[in-house]
Structure 1
């Protein structure tokens, strides 16, 4: 089936219906130093160049040459440590406006695998086109894009079942919905076979012909693939060694006494040159082309001064701030505007997130089965212990163990899934789909129903099997504590997933919760803690969870327990609470303490995610 899908391919004839505005991108003396201090290493060294509309440009270079860094800077993904000047149509680039006019497609196709093509594109259309475009117009736009990319026949297929070529075309299509004038692609043929690569590049060429500026990094293209490009920009050691048409590459190399063998792929040969296999000729090539300031044209037999495109009148958003990229790129202070309103963004993202979570077996079926099985196991282990004074300590152990089950069952799924979704967030947020606040709010709201359902299932099974007081008030009190704890656990998972990669986050999730467990008041009694450490118990959400659980079962004038032995010193609930130093505790403040922790960890998670996205730039 995949083979047939790939052979169908995109409908390049439909691309001409997606007309873009001509924007010429020029950069001069571009330098990039990602780190500061003694370990600072400059990656780009004063590069210049020009990419014109209507042209499909390839940035070539060996690994580590700096082509991806150049692409990230031109696309606006990297802004710190950058020096130089970037212009659009001869005018200093306005970064906020530029991000609305351009789109960046990363090498990896970071997509939500549980959505169908139709659902994904419709959500993207609603976000990128906004409320100013009618529903019928959005649907027509979606149909046009899917026809253009040859995705109509598989529109109801989930992303996880698509081939590599289809995923790449979908990634391109998602960014074509709002007709970006400049399209950046990092290794668009990576992971594709030769046929899919040709289809992808053919599509990009047709997109460029519609008036757009299309720039793609290519590692080592075949000679057939190379013929699809109009313009080459070759990078070596952070400098430009060639800029010009494809047909002028071999004559240009001849000027440096570099003879490309007949019937040899020029791209392979120039990669060998860039890697130093033909001697130390890079300084000569860089000097000849003046590090990208000149364009070599075979028809003139010489290098030409790179023309600066004339300024073009264009109405820009009044909220944008001009960025002069001379010296370090300055920061913009005004708020971004998005095509869709904030509440529309939240609604669309909430629906999309809910669909994705509902279809994710890890987040639904596995969690349901886990809570059900553990509920039966714990209920069987503590069978009828809730009303027996001889089993008070066992019952308290069960209440504490319940907290551990709910904590880790709510933390780990988020820790495992969110780092993978973070890449989707980076791509979509960078390409101006939605604000981070809207995404984070939708992400928070989408998971709340699960934090009610799964703890409710577990608590109900354990409560009945362990013969806790048959009181709806006490049951609701214990359930409320369990839900609050699940929300705290999910917040911790979101925080760790926002900051760390999945390997580190999976390790820190259980180990990071150990201090909270230690100061909960069960493993070590409050009276036995050193005075200089006892204040830490007030920072432990597990303390509030354990106190709330104990007060739910034994507090508020519960009648004496039954005794299965001749003597039971813990028949009276008040004495049980005194044993755990909870006689004067308040259920109300236990709930408040957990909610405060929940809000604190959620706010911290938002700022951590915001910082993470900025640091990735």
Structure 2
């Protein structure tokens, strides 16, 4: 691994990164120049908190320790036992880890990674993250629309997609849905090929894969690596983590990087690995899989097998000796590699590649290939396709809403417009308001349901967080709430006798929709910057609606008689909603029309013949402004919490 073998290629960072949207198809083809990825003394730490309350301490846990190497065009494998740091190293090299958590820098052809690094690299996740309700071609089309330059025509993009589909042998399933837990789709091997095809859309010089053989059988894994080998011969540098490959797969590798407990055990060509371990005193038998042999040596299993030959009376001592030797083997092999000629040659070449280079943070300032509105349009397109394609889930959601409306309306079935049912009607408005308030849980689930998909696509440079958030609000959250309010309002109007005016129907629909949206945006504003739902945040949200609903009942039945609690009306979403619903339904109503004096005197509790009388009794303004001020208050809640959520998103750069 001498410096004379360095291939001359155009550094990716020397290309113009100011405006990637101006790249043409010819520029994109030039991005397939061979790329040599080098890294020197990479260390990665994470902070772990331990203890309780005042005794809590923060300790830095080192995941990677002084890892150096060079990845050339071909198949570059990262091997090691579980917990060795394979995936962390892969993420560091792929610029998917925060630069402040690891030391040193990663270079491409001797230059720091540029702002458009993600256009010249692809990342295939372990779990094949993609939209399962879309077809193979539609997933590729979405990737091409957001990651290829806007100057490329649709004809050029479609031609590129067809070439990749043919290259990876996906022609038969190109128009088949990828599949979900409810939808039967393509096979696992075809799903993995689709994940690779999505990344090949940008013609990347470097392709990263995290455990590509996960959940694949031996034959399928072998065929997959034959495909990757064919792709690597086009001049691509393919870097992947893998746990325990079979012998036929291992023979395809060009170089391997062995890790154990975050330390570098070996890095270099496959052919040199066996010789290196032999020089350390570990000989691989001719019929043994080298990958299994390396892992056995690293984990200390070979020493354990030697210990088993000892006397059975010393079994406990052998186990303790094995634990000690397992730790010492890792240290011994790491030091042995540092003192080897392979390491010295690698360091010499790294010094030449990184000569006079300082650590750069350019890749943090990532630029997108498409505009904000272009991203918003295509994310909206995918959401609509997802809703239409996933008919079972969509129909089930509609049926659930209808059943909810029938349950509420059925409970209040038989209510008439007379003075004896006013309180019952108020209770119905209370139930409707509570139903829409507690639907806030599904607002967070809209984001959590696609959390893994969003994280992968955002880190791969598909779209901005702001465009994704705005699309979820405008094309998913608001329409879902409108559909829920519309169905429930229709069902209730068909079963219960409410204000028959057409205007009253739409006002009730608007009120319920605004109540639901207010609850949703308040929840999003609280949870938008969290990795997971915080139990404390969930508790506070639930408590808020419980107390505000109770306050609304007391205030609207008995008026706000306690001045110390009167301020609660200004922060209560249910209070505004119930006031608007009662104002809309009761104003102009004559409950005693057609009733005799005997029937009126027989009404329970109290006699109120007009809606105006009841509204006055609970301190509700009778003027049209009394109705619209409640809607304006709900609208202000929606706008304020939306702005808070959006600002927190821009500040913390993190969704729920």
TM over 0.5: yes
CA deviation profile, 1:433-483 (whole Å, cap 9, x unmatched): 111122122222212333323311210221232111111222221111112
The within-5 A match list for 1:112-511 is 112-160=131-179, 161-277=185-301, 278=303, 279=325, 280-290=328-338, 295=342, 305-308=347-350, 324-325=358-359, 332=364, 336-361=366-391, 364-385=394-415, 387-408=417-438, 410-447=439-476, 448-491=478-521, 504=533
Rounded Cα–Cα distance in structure 2 between residues aligned with 1:269 and 1:495:
53
Rounded Cα–Cα distance in structure 2 between residues aligned with 1:323 and 1:123:
37
Q: 2:13 corresponds to which residue?
A: none
CA pair 586-276 structure 1, distance change in 2 beyond 3 A: farther
Q: 2:306 corresponds to which residue?
A: none
Instruction: Tell me how far 1:323 sits from its aligned partner.
Output: 10
1:190 aligned counterpart, secondary structure: coil
| Aligned match for 2:585, one of 538, 549, 553 | 553
Instruction: Tell me how far 1:608 sits from its aligned partner.
Output: 5.4
Which protein is bigger by CA-based radius of gyration?
2
CA deviation profile, 1:121-156 (whole Å, cap 9, x unmatched): 112111111321111111100101111122121122
Structure in which a larger fraction of residues adopt helix: 2
CA pair 386-551 structure 1, distance change in 2 beyond 3 A: farther
Instruction: Tell me how far 1:283 sits from its aligned partner.
Output: 2.7
Instruction: Tell me how far 1:603 sits from its aligned partner.
Output: 3.8
| Aligned match for 1:571, one of 599, 604, 609 | 609
The answer on 1:20 being equivalent to 2:32 is yes
1:392 aligned counterpart, secondary structure: helix
CA deviation profile, 1:555-611 (whole Å, cap 9, x unmatched): 4x5445556652452333234234444347832222122222223343444455567
Instruction: Tell me how far 1:495 sits from its aligned partner.
Output: 6.0
The within-5 A match list for 1:80-91 is 80-91=100-111
* Equivalent pair of 2:380/2:475 in contact (CA under 8 Å): yes
1:122 aligned counterpart, secondary structure: helix
Instruction: Tell me how far 1:365 sits from its aligned partner.
Output: 1.1
* Greater mean alpha carbon deviation, residues 491-500 or residues 378-387: 491-500
TM-score normalised per structure 1 = 0.85
The within-5 A match list for 1:52-63 is 52=72, 54-63=73-82
Rounded Cα–Cα distance in structure 1 between residues aligned with 2:653 and 2:212:
23
The answer on 1:42 being equivalent to 2:62 is yes
1:198 aligned counterpart, secondary structure: helix
- Pairwise CA RMSD: 3.2
2:258 aligned counterpart, secondary structure: strand
Rounded Cα–Cα distance in structure 2 between residues aligned with 1:323 and 1:543:
63
* Equivalent pair of 1:57/1:215 in contact (CA under 8 Å): yes
1:150 aligned counterpart, secondary structure: coil
The within-5 A match list for 1:71-82 is 71-79=90-98, 80-82=100-102
Rounded Cα–Cα distance in structure 2 between residues aligned with 1:510 and 1:149:
50
* Greater mean alpha carbon deviation, residues 605-614 or residues 136-145: 605-614
Structure 1: which 4+ aligned runs deviate by more than 6 Å?
309-312, 505-511
1:515 aligned counterpart, secondary structure: helix
Instruction: Tell me how far 1:243 sits from its aligned partner.
Output: 0.7
CA pair 69-125 structure 1, distance change in 2 beyond 3 A: same
Rounded Cα–Cα distance in structure 1 between residues aligned with 2:170 and 2:544:
51
Stretches of structure 1 that go unaligned for 5 or more consecutive residues are 1-16, 297-301, 313-321
Rounded Cα–Cα distance in structure 1 between residues aligned with 2:534 and 2:178:
26
TM-score normalised per structure 2 = 0.80
Stretches of structure 2 that go unaligned for 5 or more consecutive residues are 1-28, 49-56, 180-184, 304-324
